[in-house]
Structure 1
Amino acid sequence: MKKFLYILLALVLVVVIGIAALLALVDPNQFKPLIAEQVKKNTGRELVISGDIDWRFFPSVGLTLGETEFRNPEGFAEANLVRFSNAELSVAVMPLLSQQLEVGNVSLNDARVFIQTRKDGVSNLDGIGAQASTATSADESAAEQQPQSTTPESSDIAPSQESPAAGWTISLAGVELVNASAVIRDDKTGALTDIEQLNVSLTRFAPGEWAKAAFDVQGKNGELTFTAKGETELNIAPTLDGAELKALTLDAQAADKVNKIESVSLTVDQFRVGDWSALTFSAKGEIPDLAFDAKGETRLKLSADFNLASVEGLSLNSNVKGNALPRPEMKIGLTADASYDVAKGLATLSAFTTQVDEIALDGKASFQTADIPVIRFDVHSDNIDLDAFLGLDKASKAASSKTGSEAPTTGEASGTSTTQAATAVDKSKEPDLSALKTLDIAGKVAIDNFKAANAKVSAVVTELAVKKGVLNLKRFDAKLYGGSINAKATIDANGKLPTYKVTKHIKGVQVQPLLVDVAEFENLAGTGNIDINLSGTGLAETRIRQNIAGTVDINFADGSVYGVNVAEMIREARATLKGKKAEYVKEERKTDFSALTSTMKLGKGVLSTNNLYLASPLLRIDGEGQTNLVSEDIDFTVMTSVVESSQGQGGKDIDELKDLTVPIDVKGNWTEPKFSLNLKELLKRNNELEKKAEREVERGLKKLLGDKADDDKVKDAANKLLKGLFN
């Protein structure tokens, strides 16, 4: 036992003498010039060690390094690329004998990193390691000039030389980064990121063992200030080829002059490549005109080759408020499965459902990164009421309730005029279609029931594509008001002004309820068939009106034109020709028809027709004329004839008016059309009636004047009166 104690005392004495000799004979500060020289040689930069280099012996042998600066070249805003006030590193000696590298606590205090890119594009990172690379290249060239041995013995030596390293184990007592900071500055773009404070800690760390890590950071990115903190546990595989995380938590905040992110949080139960991980996340804050509070959860898996990231059971719910929304408050929900293929740059959203208040959508979509992103989608909804969603139905009711209110004051009228002037300017502004040149989109939208601009449609199917600046509406099919609509359209944004083409076929639509819903216009009823073929240049409202060209063929059956009673006007004409008042009962102001057809031509800002035709058992109407699409003026003449002997509308007999042609002028504008009887044209087209009118005048004069009616002067006066009437 005494021998063992002597041996132990001897070893302690040797260690003490060794440490004393090390302290007395070896001053680590004498290595400063050598260290600086090697750094200069390998990086081309100066290393300045202002502080002392001291030995450290407890709890293990190591070094402490005082204030140190790694310099920038001249011409940069700060002198140092890297600076720190103190660093510590130690290594346990005895475990080295057993091929164990036990590194003590590594500590770095008050470290600062400054990275700058000047306006000329030069960075303070440029050139680092260039000298080392040159030296390495020279060494490789020298090695290539040496004769290569190809003996079997030399090839067998390499494995035996590498084998000792395979038995080493490595551990780290801990890492501390205290009060670190960094600045990343780009003078070319004006971007500036300033990490004002960063602290990182890692407990004992060894392959195959769990270690705790934590960090906190605060800084600025431009005007955005941010703070974040987090912690986790990590495990590096003994073979150093994999890692695991568990109990990951992250919390962050950010704010600038207009944005305030109150909180962002993320938790992960565990993460290992090839396994599913459960994530929960939340975000709350405000951006201009919008406040949000979102929460969600999902499962995430990363494939072993790091090529495929999969998301399963994604669930997101958010409450949003603000003036930027169609409504003051809205609820948004999303569920989906998703994946991202790194090699293909392909993100796929499969089996998704989303709910925005009462609007629900489901379907699938994909996004592939490329110079022009490729987007594909297939979306379905049971019901979309766009008017209710956007609040247009309430706005329409509010506008109607204000009708008939007092006229605005002079100031109000002036404001209205200003607004109207601004609106007129806006009507000549082309929409920005530049996005059409940056997208490759194709997809399908199906909606069971849809309402927009108060028009109600069902069984809507839309297929569209956007590619190379061209929007192609390949298909729009829907059922509406007892009929159907089929349409196709293209918009080409590649020219100086966009061009468009539209074809549309409407069959069997009940016209009156459609017009009442869409335009509050109830003056036309019937079953409508419409074929539209139009094209033009420019999408601003004024250019559409000026440049639109093509045809609109209409064919209405079994309907009525409200606002005018043609039979009533015929009786009025007949009574006028007799010099009497019409004797009839007041009837509803409408004209029934069995067919209404016309081909309308559009061009040079004018819509015209020369074959307006209306047929009914009583009447035949032919019309022609035009309307100016810019000024909205109307100028039509409608020729109406009684072709059958029958009871007219309201049961009033007009048999004696058979074969009478009555011209009716339609003038005014779109909002206030005016119908009037054209007496001049009436008498020109009815010579027989003119003669009858002359006889009626003569008879009337005889009753009134007796024999004096035969006087030549009286006849002259009567003729002049008739000529004035007929002309």
Structure 2
Amino acid sequence: MKSLGKILGLVILGLLLLIVALGFALTHLFDPNDYKDEIRALAREKAGLELDIAGDIGWSLFPWLGLELHDTTLASVQTPEQPFADLRMLGLSVRVLPLLSREVQMSDITLNGLNLTLNRDEKGRGNWEGVGRPTTSETPPDNAAAQPAEPSTDEQRSDNTRRPLQLDIDSLTISDARVTYHDAQSGQQFSAEGIELTTGAIREATSIPVKLNAFFGSNKPVMRARTELQGALRFDTKLQRYQLEDLRLSGEASGEPLQGKTLSFSAQGQLLADLAADIAEWTSLKFTANQLRGLGELKARDLQNQPKISGALSIAEFNLREFLESIGQQLPAMADNTALGKAELVTRLAGTPTSLTFEEINLKLDGSTFTGQIAVSDFAKQSLRVDLSGDQFNLDRYLPPPGKDDGAAAARQSEVRATEAAVIGSGTTPLPDKPTQQAWSSTTVLPVGSLRSLDTRVNLNIDNLTAMKLPLDNFALKARTAGGLLTLEQLRGGLYNGRLEASASLDVRPQIPLLTAQTRMAHVPIEGLLQSQGEQVVIKGLLNLDSDLRTQGNSQQAWIDNLNGKIGFLIDNGVLVDANLEQQLCRAIATLNRKPLNSEPRGKDTPFRELKGNLILRNGVASNPDLKVSIPGLTVNGNGDVDLRVLGMDYRVGIVIEGDKGEMPDPACAVNERYVGIEWPLRCRGPLELGAKACRFDNDRLGKIAARLAGDKLNQTIEEKLGDKVSPELKDALKGLFNR
């Protein structure tokens, strides 16, 4: 037995020596470089790959099956003249004996100088197409194709008991690699350069350290980014579960969208993809972008069909203005240059490949808080949906600052000041002609092209809103745009304890935009409106207004020149400020009575019960045919035009004494019964800014009234003197003579 054991030992030793000798002989006496043509032919026929090995092939057989390629290019057999990859060096080796038990034990895999160039031509064909498909194949007989052979029971048992492939690689190193993609149809180009990838030992169900560095670029738009990724990769092929633990991604980006600025970014967290469950998630997410800091989580489901994402996002308070400027986004000039100084966001999000929704929003902006939802329902159509509620918001802070007066406006203001000084100074100077300066800009206002493509729906509710210096409470707005038609369905809110409601539309589908607007005000103090706009308060009272206006064009001047419609107004319990009509009337009556005034005016204002009328607008000129003001003891009638094109007026006012028995301010202007029912004429002419200060008694018409009163007095004298001494016919003839 000992002899037999010794013999077996010698046989095994001899076999091992023979195997070693054979391996030595194969690796030293057999040169694979002599078979490059056969290798090329095999790659062409079996893989559709045009392989060109310019460098040497190095190899080893035992105990490692090793391969090393140098200066190799790859191309599809369909486009052999357009290689899609070239490789400076590839080195790998596999332990031989573990292969017998389906274990792949590899040493370090080294890939150096890979240059992968992928191109699509004008017809959409890629230079990699055809790779992986054999160029020749044998067609099986018809009966064989129709009736495939079933594996034997032993083969099935062997397949069922076969061990899964196990992977074991000491490390993977990729250095100096480059990948580019170019699409000739769109002109789009992407690149990843300077790719450096290193890993630790690659074994299933173990933590694999991974580090990747690369530079990414694109041409439309021109962008450049440097990135670095670190983490620990873990995978289980049987469970189809893949994890990237302790991910840390950082880098910098610059390019055209950033206008020469640099965006520094970072992200970290835990990534998981469970293909068996068809889900993926990113938890413990932390990210930065310049001074922006945020937390969150993202989850995706239905990866194989219609992916859907959900998650949460929280962005800490940051300076939004500085952030936007740091990424090259130029903000328009605002009335408050500290606006957008504080922003904070907490929200949940949901999305699909075509949409994204921010739900349960809690947005804080410059002291205002908004809640609700914002969504882009269709990326291709840029369909925006907004449904927000806020506590308070000052819109004026974000609007453009007030513009400086141009030359025409300055000249007009100079004219107004000079006219006002003259009128107020003496009170007897002639009334000025209406201004002739242009009051409106001809600069284009609406971005028609952008408005035509808008698809939005907006629902906004704010407890307290300041807009155009008007304080609106319980403000609500509903608006929508589609196909070039912008519709303000509803705008309402409280205004100085009154109510404001409005609706409007803007149609940019035709070449010349069309605008319509309807407005209703109820019990709004008109002095509040004037003060809020920086205008002088020339009238007080509660304004009730209904308007229906339309115009067309794309500038202030065009809108005014084409303004048409109707405005009805009523002012209750009002006051004409700095316009003592009673005193002016008293002066006129005293003149007729030929008596001097003995007292000073009691006040500067004229109260009235109501002021009402209608404005008919025709191409920028507002005609008011029916103004009526009810003042105790007086009725004021008015008619005339307000030319909005030049902000001038030419208006006639008639004051009718109704026989009030109240005490007049001065005995010299005591109301004589002869004056009751007479319409005393005033004329207002000049810049609209003067208001009631541009009004004076119409001397021409006043003279006619004086002549008529003189005729009435003479008729009375005739009646007293003649009595019954003459016939009635003669008395009527004499009266008619003096009344002409």
How far apart, in 2, do the equivalents of 1:391 and 1:470 lie? 25
Once the two structures are overlaid, the 10-residue window that deviates more, 262-271 or 8-17, is 8-17
Q: 1:154: how far off?
A: 6.2
CA contact (8 A) 2:47 2:132 kept: yes
- Equivalent position of 2:37 in the other structure: 33
Counterpart AA for 2:318: S
CA contact (8 A) 2:269 2:282 kept: no
- Equivalent position of 1:68 in the other structure: 72
- Equivalent position of 2:104 in the other structure: 101
CA contact (8 A) 1:60 1:93 kept: yes
How far apart, in 2, do the equivalents of 1:424 and 1:144 lie? 92
Residue 692 of structure 2 is aligned to residue 677 of structure 1: no
Structure 1 residues 217-616: aligned runs within 5 Å: 217-222=214-219, 224-239=223-238, 241-256=240-255, 258-273=259-274, 277-284=283-290, 293-303=291-301, 305=303, 307-319=307-319, 320-321=321-322, 322=325, 324=331, 326=334, 327-328=337-338, 330-342=341-353, 345-369=354-378, 371-388=380-397, 427-578=442-593, 581-616=596-631
Q: 1:215: how far off?
A: 0.5
Structure 1 counterpart of 2:686, from 668, 681, 684: 668
The Cα RMSD (Å) is 3.8
Q: 1:619: how far off?
A: 1.2
Once the two structures are overlaid, the 10-residue window that deviates more, 679-688 or 512-521, is 679-688
How far apart, in 2, do the equivalents of 1:56 and 1:387 lie? 78
CA contact (8 A) 2:362 2:371 kept: yes
CA contact (8 A) 1:483 1:508 kept: yes
SS of aligned partner of 1:132: coil
Structure 2 counterpart of 1:206, from 197, 203, 206: 203
Counterpart AA for 1:475: Q
Counterpart AA for 1:443: V
Structure 1, unaligned runs of 5 or more: 285-292, 397-403, 406-422, 696-722
How far apart, in 2, do the equivalents of 1:348 and 1:246 lie? 28
SS of aligned partner of 2:689: coil
Structure 2 counterpart of 1:90, from 93, 98, 118: 93
CA contact (8 A) 1:299 1:314 kept: no
Counterpart AA for 1:682: L
How far apart, in 1, do the equivalents of 2:474 and 2:63 lie? 79
CA contact (8 A) 1:247 1:268 kept: yes
SS of aligned partner of 2:592: helix
Q: 1:485: how far off?
A: 1.2
How far apart, in 2, do the equivalents of 1:157 and 1:144 lie? 26
SS of aligned partner of 2:638: strand
Evaluate the alpha carbon distance shift between residue 346 and residue 183 of structure 1 in structure 2; reply closer, same or farther with a 3 A threshold: closer
C-alpha deviations, 1:664-716, integer Å up to 9, x for none? 11111223342121111223356532437999xxxxxxxxxxxxxxxxxxxxx
How far apart, in 1, do the equivalents of 2:404 and 2:444 lie? 25
Number of aligned positions between the proteins = 659
Evaluate the alpha carbon distance shift between residue 26 and residue 95 of structure 1 in structure 2; reply closer, same or farther with a 3 A threshold: same
C-alpha deviations, 1:596-619, integer Å up to 9, x for none? 111111122211110111112121
Evaluate the alpha carbon distance shift between residue 460 and residue 425 of structure 1 in structure 2; reply closer, same or farther with a 3 A threshold: closer
How far apart, in 1, do the equivalents of 2:242 and 2:680 lie? 94
How far apart, in 2, do the equivalents of 1:470 and 1:530 lie? 27
How far apart, in 1, do the equivalents of 2:131 and 2:710 lie? 110
CA contact (8 A) 1:213 1:231 kept: yes
Evaluate the alpha carbon distance shift between residue 242 and residue 690 of structure 1 in structure 2; reply closer, same or farther with a 3 A threshold: farther
Counterpart AA for 1:125: G
Q: 1:151: how far off?
A: 8.8
C-alpha deviations, 1:527-576, integer Å up to 9, x for none? 11101111222242112111121111001111012232211221222233
SS of aligned partner of 2:133: helix
Q: 1:641: how far off?
A: 1.1
How far apart, in 2, do the equivalents of 1:381 and 1:626 lie? 43
How far apart, in 1, do the equivalents of 2:261 and 2:682 lie? 67
How far apart, in 1, do the equivalents of 2:684 and 2:442 lie? 28
- Equivalent position of 1:636 in the other structure: 651
Counterpart AA for 2:300: L
CA contact (8 A) 2:597 2:666 kept: no
C-alpha deviations, 1:266-303, integer Å up to 9, x for none? 0114535456611000011xxxxxxxx10111122233
Q: 1:363: how far off?
A: 1.1
Once the two structures are overlaid, the 10-residue window that deviates more, 90-99 or 181-190, is 181-190
- Equivalent position of 2:56 in the other structure: 52
How far apart, in 2, do the equivalents of 1:424 and 1:28 lie? 91
CA contact (8 A) 2:225 2:253 kept: yes
Counterpart AA for 1:339: A
How far apart, in 1, do the equivalents of 2:377 and 2:642 lie? 49
How far apart, in 2, do the equivalents of 1:17 and 1:504 lie? 102
CA contact (8 A) 2:118 2:127 kept: no
SS of aligned partner of 1:588: coil
How far apart, in 1, do the equivalents of 2:107 and 2:210 lie? 16
CA contact (8 A) 1:105 1:173 kept: yes
Q: 1:594: how far off?
A: 0.4
Evaluate the alpha carbon distance shift between residue 658 and residue 531 of structure 1 in structure 2; reply closer, same or farther with a 3 A threshold: same
- Equivalent position of 1:145 in the other structure: 142
SS of aligned partner of 2:603: coil
How far apart, in 1, do the equivalents of 2:213 and 2:141 lie? 50
Q: 1:333: how far off?
A: 1.0
* TM, length-normalised to structure 1: 0.81
How far apart, in 1, do the equivalents of 2:26 and 2:379 lie? 63
Evaluate the alpha carbon distance shift between residue 575 and residue 530 of structure 1 in structure 2; reply closer, same or farther with a 3 A threshold: same
CA contact (8 A) 2:214 2:226 kept: yes
C-alpha deviations, 1:463-502, integer Å up to 9, x for none? 1112222122111110011211121212222111222222
How far apart, in 2, do the equivalents of 1:694 and 1:183 lie? 110
How far apart, in 2, do the equivalents of 1:153 and 1:185 lie? 47
Q: 1:313: how far off?
A: 4.8
Evaluate the alpha carbon distance shift between residue 152 and residue 693 of structure 1 in structure 2; reply closer, same or farther with a 3 A threshold: same
CA contact (8 A) 1:443 1:463 kept: yes
* TM, length-normalised to structure 2: 0.80
The percentage of aligned residue pairs carrying the same residue is 20
SS of aligned partner of 2:203: coil
Counterpart AA for 1:301: K
Once the two structures are overlaid, the 10-residue window that deviates more, 327-336 or 347-356, is 327-336
Evaluate the alpha carbon distance shift between residue 117 and residue 88 of structure 1 in structure 2; reply closer, same or farther with a 3 A threshold: same
CA contact (8 A) 2:84 2:127 kept: no
CA contact (8 A) 1:526 1:560 kept: yes
How far apart, in 1, do the equivalents of 2:95 and 2:35 lie? 22
How far apart, in 1, do the equivalents of 2:46 and 2:149 lie? 37
How far apart, in 2, do the equivalents of 1:190 and 1:272 lie? 34
How far apart, in 2, do the equivalents of 1:638 and 1:511 lie? 21
- Equivalent position of 2:676 in the other structure: 658
